[in-house]
Structure 1
Amino acid sequence: MRLIVGGDVETTGFDSEKGDRIIEVAFQIWDFDTRRKVKEIEQRINPLRTIPPAATAVHGIVLEDLRECPTWEKVAPIVAKALGLAKVFVAHNVMFDGPFIGLELARIGLEVPNIDSFCTMENGRWATPTGKSPNLGELCWALNVPYDPSKAHAAMYDVDCMMQCLWKGIDLGYYKLPIAA
């Protein structure tokens, strides 16, 4: 079984090296060959720090929503294990999600799994008339995947939309994952 993990995180900001933290993680683990979803992981996380209003404006999460949630130290082993099972990590902005997850795992002393990654955004330039990297809504529109902007930036919603786009993009020949070789 060749597993891939589609993932997304919501955070307190853009830079984990400067103290920003993951506040929501969502993964879907898929069998690449059968296209069967094997497992979902969705967890909100108490960052033990404030969430700036600019971040809340994006994802709608405030610290009060997270007070009873586990900390990253409790969630990180689950994240590391899920990534360790996969051959490829897929994200809509892998240059944000991948390093952020990796730095957060390393920060607490967990090994960062060495797997390939695939970015549906960077590899989705075909989806826009100007060739710019599409946001998730634009990618969904190009692939006729239903997308509700009012649900955007909820991690599992974004992963679900992204994975629908991934499979359609593979079928249409727009995407080729490193696992397919």
Structure 2
Amino acid sequence: MALIAGLDLETTGLLGKDGTPGDQRIVEVCVQLWCLESRSRKLNFVQRIDPQRSITEKAQAVHGITAADLIGKPLWDEVAPKTHVILNKSIMTVAHNGVGFDAPFINGEFRRVGLSEVGPFLDTMLNGRFATPTGAVPSLEKLCFSCGVYYDHDLAHGADYDVTVMMECFFKALDWGWITLPSSVIRDAA
């Protein structure tokens, strides 16, 4: 059974100009493990995290997570090892805007606590250009529309919800031939 991970992060802010998290931190992580063959979800890990810093207004406006929501939550140092183990059970990680955000962010945060980087990543935003008439990169909402997956604005930008609908889109696009797996992943799945 080949496992594919779906990943989404909610953070205190954006990556720096150098492409690293800098002093920004993860406030919520969701990792789901899915069986490539059966398209069934095998694990759903969702954890909010105390970032030990403030959340930028822009980030809070997107995900709606406040500092008060994170009181008493574990620190990344405690959550990182479990997240790392789960991601390493998969042959590939799928993330929407994964190449531009999730991969560098989580790998930067893994390095910060002494863990190795994870990958490879497949980015449903970069690989989802089929979802827009002009070939532009799609929002998750546009990707869902193209794949016939219902997108609920009230639940959007919650890491668990975003991973669930993204993986539904990923598997539909994979089955329809709109997204293909990298050859290294196909070898690992065999």
Q: Which band: TM-score by shorter chain?
A: over 0.9
Paired position in structure 2 for 1:107 = 112
Q: Is the counterpart of residue 31 in structure 1 residue 31 in structure 2? A: no
Distance 1:64 1:9 in 2: 18
Distance 2:68 2:31 in 1: 23
Equivalent residue for 1:67, pick from 68, 71, 75: 71
**Structure 1 residue 151 displacement after superposition:** 1.3
Paired position in structure 2 for 1:160 = 164
User: Which blocks of at least 5 consecutive residues in structure 1 are unaligned?
Assistant: none
Distance 1:110 1:117 in 2: 17
Query: Identity, % of aligned pairs?
Result: 44
Paired position in structure 2 for 1:180 = 186
Paired position in structure 2 for 1:149 = 153
**Structure 1 residue 38 displacement after superposition:** 1.2
**Structure 1 residue 176 displacement after superposition:** 1.1
Paired position in structure 2 for 1:11 = 11
**Structure 1 residue 18 displacement after superposition:** 2.4
Distance 2:21 2:126 in 1: 24
* Structure 1 residues 25-62: Cα deviation after superposition (integer angstroms, max 9, x where no partner): 00110111222211110000000001111110010000
User: Which blocks of at least 5 consecutive residues in structure 2 are unaligned?
Assistant: none
Distance 1:97 1:153 in 2: 14
Tell whether the 8 Å contact from 2:14 to 2:21 is kept in structure 1 after alignment.
no
Paired position in structure 2 for 1:82 = 86
Question: The residue matched to 2:72 in structure 1 has which SS?
Answer: coil
TM-score, L = length of structure 1: 0.96
Tell whether the 8 Å contact from 2:98 to 2:123 is kept in structure 1 after alignment.
yes
**Structure 1 residue 17 displacement after superposition:** 3.6
Distance 1:158 1:83 in 2: 17
Equivalent residue for 2:125, pick from 113, 121, 137: 121
Q: Which amino acid is the alignment partner of residue 29 of structure 1?
A: L
**Structure 1 residue 23 displacement after superposition:** 0.3
Root-mean-square deviation (CA), in Å?
1.1
Q: Is the counterpart of residue 54 in structure 1 residue 63 in structure 2? A: no
TM-score, L = length of structure 2: 0.91
Question: The residue matched to 2:27 in structure 1 has which SS?
Answer: strand
Distance 2:21 2:147 in 1: 35
Tell whether the 8 Å contact from 2:32 to 2:42 is kept in structure 1 after alignment.
yes
Q: Is the counterpart of residue 94 in structure 1 residue 98 in structure 2? A: yes
Question: The residue matched to 2:154 in structure 1 has which SS?
Answer: helix
Q: Which amino acid is the alignment partner of residue 180 of structure 1?
A: I
Distance 2:13 2:143 in 1: 24
Tell whether the 8 Å contact from 2:31 to 2:87 is kept in structure 1 after alignment.
no
Distance 1:116 1:7 in 2: 12
Distance 2:147 2:173 in 1: 7
Select between 116-125 and 27-36 the one with higher mean Cα deviation: 27-36
